[in-house]
Amino acid sequence: MRQDINLSKNKGAPRSRRAVCEGCTRIISDRFLMRVNDASWHEDCLQCAACQQPLTATCYFRDTKVYCKSDYQQLFATKCSGCLEKIAPTEMVMRALECVYHLSCFYCCVCERRLCKGDEFVLKEGQLLCKSDYEREREINIEKNVQADIYTMHTSTMSYYIYC
């Protein structure tokens, strides 16, 4: 689960119950402490799990670890199934089952025709085929008496990709 968290300094806990730092597990006796996702941190202990840079204004939280924005996006951003590059959070995308594509990467692997919203296609072994190329391939396999795999025909849809 992705959480974009604004960090805030809080005054230390009253003497009767001292907070324990999530990073170093020592008691926080400093005047200020950092709070992230209900955990307390020394200012110096709160750092990105990937690059170890201090986190002073915001951080991203995933699987009990905190990250800076740049490392979080590098590690967890969804990648296009066509070019394997990152997909920006507000980018329009095409989806095929569990695969997500940039609009420019959503094309038939045989004729290289760009598939648009409403086009019928087949996702065969991770590759997109337009309806006509899939049917042509299937006819060739039938003529050669090759067992033709049956794939489900899908209709393409366009959507925004918002990752969490």
- State pTM to two decimals: 0.58
DSSP string for the chain: --EEEE-EEEEPPPTTS--BBTTT--B--SSEEEEETTEEE-TTT-B-TTT--B-SSEEEEETTEEE-HHHHHHHHS-B-TTT--B--TT-EEEEETTEEEEGGG-B-TTT-PBP-TT-EEEEETTEEEEHHHHHHHHHHHHHTTPPPPP---EE-EEEE----
Could you please state the CATH topology (level 3) that the domain comprising 3-75 is classified under: Cysteine Rich Protein (2.10.110)
- In this structure, whether the domain defined by 78-160 belongs to CATH 3.10.20.30 is answered with no
* Per-residue confidence (pLDDT) for residue 10, from 0 to 100: 55
pLDDT tens by residue, the chain, 164 residues? 444 555 555 555 444 468 999 999 999 988 888 888 888 989 889 999 999 999 988 889 888 899 999 899 888 888 999 999 989 878 899 988 888 999 999 999 999 999 988 888 888 888 899 999 988 988 887 777 665 565 666 666 554 443 33
Taking the domains of the chain in order of start, what are their residue ranges?
3-75, 78-160
